[in-house]
Structure 1
Amino acid sequence: MMRKRKLRALFSVMLIMFLLVSLIGCGQKDKDDSESSGTSTKTESTFKAGTYTGVGKGNNGDIKVEVEVDDDSILAINVLEHNETKGLSDAAFDEIPNTVIEGQTLAVDTVSGATNSSNGLIEAITEALKAAGGDINELSKNKATNETAREDKEYTTDVVVIGAGGAGLAAAVSAHENGAKVIVLEKMPQPGGNTIISGAAYNAVDPVRQSKQGIEDSVDKHYTQTYEGGDMKGDPELVRTLVENAYPTLQWLEGLGMEFTDEVFTVLGGLWPRAHKPVKPLGTGYIETYMSYIEKSNDEIQVLVNTEAKELIVENDVVVGVKAEGKNGNVVVNAKSVVMAAGGFGANVDMRNEYNSLWPDLTNLKTTNHPGATGDGIAMGEQVEANLVGMEYIQLLPMGDPETGSLSGNIEQGVENRIFVNKDGNRFVDEGARRDVMTKALMEQSDQTMWVIVDKHSYPTGDTKNNFNESIDDLVAAGRAYKADTLEDLAKQIGVDSASFVKAVEGFNNAVDAGTDEFGRTLFDQKLDTAPFYAGARVPTVHHTMGGLQINTDAQVLNKEGQVIKGLYAAGEVTGGIHGTNRLGGNALADVNTFGRIAGQNAAIGK
């Protein structure tokens, strides 16, 4: 009996051991199978948790960011250092980090109008995530994000302004000063339009500044140069309104806090030293001045970005509002008056080719304009029978960046102390002439390319900046400008004939002494005779469209019969009839601010 019990106990132990071995074996097999099939039950981390820095190349230098991650996600992105132009790059620094975090992806769009800053910021974030052990290929794929629920919105206000560039913001501020509540619709991600990326020169006859510099000028002279500079195709009454109100509007801007330097200068194609230079770079001063006022308006002025106007609302032959498309739904704004300030069509290749009759095909020419300058306001005006004038008058500029067509990288500081040479090293035009004259001459040169030549008089030190907030040392380091201690060395660097180049500079210097020039140039200042010497390449680019909606001196839009379209006003590059065939350099900022101010005032009072 005892023996049977012992045998049963031994059998039980053996059975238990067999079952344990079997279970262990199955577990190991399952593990082996899972590893061989690539479906390990272990979860791998996306990042090594921590905080990492990265550096990218922006428009004006390095952009440094700090990125915080945990094992699986991007938690925070902070911009530590950058030299990008304030106002111009703000939207990129606001939007891109948020979009990266929201989508957990590097597949994000650049911000229009701040492309270089956007690319530099994305590069810096990428470098930080790479340091965190992230799979950049995987992070660069588009990932589905939760879409914000669409919501249509309707507003009621006194004045609605289409476009948040210089003209639109001038109109908004002016309307508010005259008692109106205002809503501004801007299709781009940030305010600014072409104004914020412009050279920012503002023409006005200025008794105070000009007299201190010994410059004789008058409103009549400004009128004559503007009217005749456009081949007498502009509306004389509009030209007179512009030149008479340019200085009072400049004083109005100063009263709002805008600052200009003490000395006036001659801007490219301006024909006379009456251009005012803002203290802040590019056109940021104008936009910051207006936005500062708007921020203090207690929400009586609202600016809705990413909101594209589509159609004017008309009731009983009166324009009473705007239908628009917002980022997350349709937007309707009901108003007593509408100000159209949506800009020109320089960035719309099809549209400029449709109307161009004066230049060779413009398809392959780049533009100085921001991407939103596509003629939307002109199209909306046509829908309500607005008359169009001067649409064939498209201004090209001989000052485009060879790669981008933009104004950035231009090393000239003023008209009087620089020359142009072609790829053979020869001068070929009066460098103080009208813009169309200079551009036509450039288009006849080899590869339609020229070199702007300046010397130490323009850049006393390497950290001296051009009109686009770029130092000459940075431009040289980036290969966008060339520097030499002799003319012969500079000629070698830029690949032009040395003898011809030296002769061209000497010829200009002799003309400065004589006061006369073989090309008929009359605007001189100093010789090009002091090292270091600098050169920068430039090409033709589409700059300004002089045609658009016809307006009267009260900035009211006119129909095809010359009658006022009630409730509709317009200002800035969306209008036509002011500049004729050719706009003088420095007149655009005077135009957009002057007529923007007039449009806003009259829209507010219902004139």
Structure 2
Amino acid sequence: MAIVPYTQHHTFDAHLPLLIIGAGACGLVAALAAHEAGIELAVLERDARPQGSTAMSSGFIPAANTRFQKALGVDDTPAKMAEDIQYKNGYEADPAIVDLLATMSGPVIEWLADRHQLPFELVEGFLYPGHTHLRMHATPRRTGEELMGALLSAAETAGIDILTQARVVDLHVDTTQRVRGVTLERPDGSRENISCDALILACNGYGGNPELVDRYIPSLKHALYYGHEGNQGDALLWGQAMGASTKDLAACQGHGSLATPHQTLISWAVMMQGGIQVNVQGARFSNEHGGYSEQAAKVLAQPEKIAWNVFDERIHQAVLAFEDYRNAFNTGAVRRFENLETMADGLNLPLEALQNTFAEMHQLAQDQKADPFGRAFDPVNLLKPPYYAIRVTGALFHTQGGLEINTQTRVLNQQGQALPNLFAAGGAARGVSGSNDSGYLSGNGLLSAVVLGAVAGKNAAELLHLKLHSAVLP
């Protein structure tokens, strides 16, 4: 994988005005937007079947001021959403990008629903950590796999060309830092060179590259990686080789609730509706309402690097709405106990410590006080027998730092100037989660993928139309 200097004598096998690397949510949305603007394009995907990180996610996309919210009486605005994002990341993200995401989130969700028949619904029942309003939009089964299926169906209906098993290995770049084309490699080792007038990097972060994780996020170098194996940092390495600016490379989305050894994501709705996490000593160790991303490192810091999600029948019934949870239940990851005594025995936890943990929660609820971690307990939501438990560990899902972009998603060089024809979005671009694992607001990953994907597709199309217009002027 390299940057190949372009010369006038270089020949290509084919030409397309626009190439998009990566057929996850970001690449497919970018393709839909550019195709709608009349641009001929192809999406290049390394795998035999487009899935990416999107298919492994919960498929929740936050958006403000949508008709789905209004139909259910939710009064939300882009300004409130932007404030929630910035408050969670400690005001470290680029405010222009945050405002762009918040402002465009509603229109993009409605465009995908109305123009491309994505069956979005507003997720009700609870607020994810850091969100002040109900704004998570998802497809009916609440899975990233279903979201990917809907996007692929939309792309097929639109007649968009997706070249699978086409791993891009080289970018051809001239002396002005203009991308002239790419080299892609097929599974049999054969290669093809395709020239282009604009390129969108919608491919990946670097979570699947242990060397880069060790370099930029050493606190999670021993974490289980629960992301797509293709996230090897190609976009980051290409950009750095071209002199692009990078920001917030230590930012990431972790998750403190991956069922182990089943490796099934357990929705954080379990915690937000009253559940707790205890370690093998039967004690709580954190504020479970602080955020699931930073919870990964907290779980990994516990003995044996595991914790138990503990909840009750009320929560169990509520989260059966999530397909991932149903899968965990059906594979035996979820265990049921009639009381604390049988749970302590079944999970090999010290009974007295477990009883003390529950007694403390009841006392805090009665006194209306928060615990030392900052969590308050509502008497209505205190856990009641029978109890449920799931053994979980902390995991790294995807990285949030990347190539610095402007509000047109143009990649910037280290002097802050836009490169001639290179765009980046999704995992390839700097996100809005600040500089570490604690700034991730639920949904930031798919928010950047979907909204910035749409922005990249639209602006790449405008650049190409401008180029075409300039070419035909007398």
Q: Same fold (TM over 0.5)?
A: yes
- The separation in 1 between residues aligned to 2:29 and 2:66, in whole angstroms, is 24
Deviation at 1:423? 1.4
Residue equivalent to 1:589: 446
Distance 1:438 1:514, change over 3 A: farther
Q: Which residue of 2 aligns with 1:343?
A: 204
SS of the residue 1:344 aligns to: coil
- Aligned to 1:470, the other structure's residue is in SS state helix
State the distance in 1 between where 2:180 and 2:18 align. Answer: 9
Q: 1:345 to 1:158 in 2, by over 3 A?
A: same
Give the CA deviation at 1:219.
Answer: 2.7
Query: Cα RMSD over matched residues?
Result: 2.8
Which structure has the larger Rg over C-alpha atoms? 1
Cα deviation, 1:105-148, whole Å, max 9, x if unaligned, reads xxxxxxxxxxxxxxxxxxxxxxxxxxxxxxxxxxxxxxxxxxxx
Structure 1 residue matching 2:344: 3-state secondary structure: helix
User: Is the partner of 1:468 in helix, strand or coil?
Assistant: helix
Q: Does 1:501 align with 2:354?
A: yes
Higher RCO, 1 vs 2 (CA within 8 Å, ≥6 residues apart): 2
Supply the distance in 2 between the matched residues of 1:534 and 1:422 (Cα, whole angstroms).
15
Shift of 1:206: 4.2
Q: Whole-Å Cα distance in 2 between the matches of residues 546 and 389 of structure 1?
A: 9
**1:260 corresponds to which letter in structure 2?**
F
- The one-letter code sitting in structure 2 at the alignment partner of 1:340 is L
Shift of 1:308: 0.9
Q: Residues of 2 paired with 1:162 and 1:243: CA distance?
A: 25
1:320 maps to: 180
Is the counterpart of residue 475 in structure 1 residue 331 in structure 2?
yes
Q: What is the rounded CA distance, in whole Å, between the counterparts of 1:391 and 1:411 in structure 2?
A: 25
- How big is the shift at 1:554? 0.7
Asked if 1:599 corresponds to 2:456, the answer is yes
What secondary structure sits across from 1:264 in the alignment? coil
Change (3 A) 1:539 1:325: same
Q: Is the 8 A contact 2:334 2:389 kept in 1?
A: yes
Pairing 1:565–2:419 present:
yes
Measure the CA separation in 2 of the matches of 1:514 and 1:576. Answer: 44
Q: Unpaired segments of 5 or more residues in structure 2?
A: 1-10, 467-474
Q: State whether structure 2 residue 189 is matched by structure 1 residue 333.
A: no
Indicate which of 384, 393, 410 corresponds to 1:539: 393
Tell whether 2:29 aligns with 1:170. yes
Task: Please state if 1:386 is matched with 2:239.
Answer: no
Match of 2:150 among 279, 289, 313: 289
Task: Give the Cα–Cα distance (whole angstroms) in 2 for the partners of residues 207 and 176 of structure 1.
Answer: 24
Please give the per-residue CA displacement for 1:22-49, whole angstroms capped at 9, x wherever unaligned.
xxxxxxxxxxxxxxxxxxxxxxxxxxxx
- Among candidates 339, 343, 352, match of residue 486 of structure 1: 339
The percent of aligned pairs where both chains have the same amino acid is 24
Q: CA deviation at 1:195?
A: 0.4
Instruction: Within 5 Å, give how 1:147-158 maps onto structure 2.
Output: 154-158=13-17
Residue 310 to residue 471, structure 1, CA distance change in 2 (3 Å): closer
Q: Say if 1:465 and 1:471, in contact at 8 Å, map to a contact too.
A: no
* Contact kept? 2:362, 2:379, Cα under 8 Å: no
> C-alpha deviations, 1:545-598, integer Å up to 9, x for none?
121111001111111111111111111011115221222111211111000000
- 2:115 aligned with 1:261: no
Task: Verify the 8 A CA contact 1:266 1:414 in the aligned structure 2.
Answer: no
> What is the CA–CA distance in structure 1 between the aligned matches of 2:448 and 2:255, rounded to whole Å?
18
- Whether the 8 Å contact between 1:416 and 1:432 is mirrored in structure 2 is no
Call closer, same or farther: CA 1:250–1:446 in 2, change over 3 Å: same
Letter in 2 for 1:321: G
In the alignment, is the contact (CA less than 8 A) between 2:271 and 2:288 conserved in 1?
Answer: no
Structure 1 residues 472 and 290, CA gap change in structure 2 (3 angstroms): closer
Residue matched to 2:78: 219
Q: How does 1:84-483 map to 2 (within 5 A)?
A: 154-206=13-65, 210=69, 217-255=76-114, 256-264=116-124, 266=126, 269-272=129-132, 273-298=134-159, 301-315=160-174, 317=176, 318-328=178-188, 329-356=190-217, 359-360=218-219, 362-403=220-261, 406-408=263-265, 412-413=269-270, 415-435=272-292, 437-460=294-317, 464=320, 466-468=322-324, 470-471=326-327, 473-476=329-332, 480-483=333-336
1:188/1:434 CA distance change after superposition, 3 Å:
same
CA drift at 1:238: 0.7
1:264 maps to amino acid: E
Which amino acid is 1:160 matched to? Answer: L
Gap change, CA 1:488 and 1:278, over 3 Å in 2? farther
Bigger mean CA offset, 373-382 vs 427-436: 427-436
Unaligned runs of 5+ in 1: 1-151
Q: Deviations over 1:458-515 (max 9, x none)?
A: 2339x93535263454133xxx221112232222211222233244345445656766
1:238 and 1:541 mapped to 2: Cα distance? 27
Rounded to whole Å, the distance in 2 between the matches of 1:153 and 1:457 is 61
TM-score normalized by the length of structure 1: 0.68
Query: Do the aligned residues in 1 keep the contact of 2:257 with 2:268 (CA within 8 Å)?
Result: no
Residues 261-270 or 585-594, more deviating: 261-270
- The one-character-per-residue Cα deviations of 1:237-257 (angstroms, maximum 9, x if unpaired) are 111111111122221221222
Output the amino acid matched with 1:552.
N
Are 2:236 and 2:428, in contact at CA under 8 Å, matched by a contact in 1?
Answer: yes
CA spacing shift, 1:414–1:447, aligned 2, 3 Å: closer
The offset of 1:280, in angstroms, is: 2.9
- Residue 250 of structure 2 aligns with an amino acid whose one-letter code is E
Structure 2: distance between partners of 1:265 and 1:203 = 15
How far the C-alpha of 1:269 sits from its partner, in A, is 4.2
Using the alignment, how far apart are the partners of 1:521 and 1:483 within structure 2? Answer: 25
CA distance in 2, matches of 1:604, 1:257: 22
Q: Deviations over 1:380-416 (max 9, x none)?
A: 2223222111112234321233337x44356854623
Alignment of 1:519-530 (within 5 A): 519-521=373-375, 527-530=381-384
Match of 2:225, SS? coil
- Displacement of 1:534 in angstroms is 0.9
Structure 1 residues 262 and 381 mapped into 2: Cα distance closer, same or farther (>3 Å)? closer
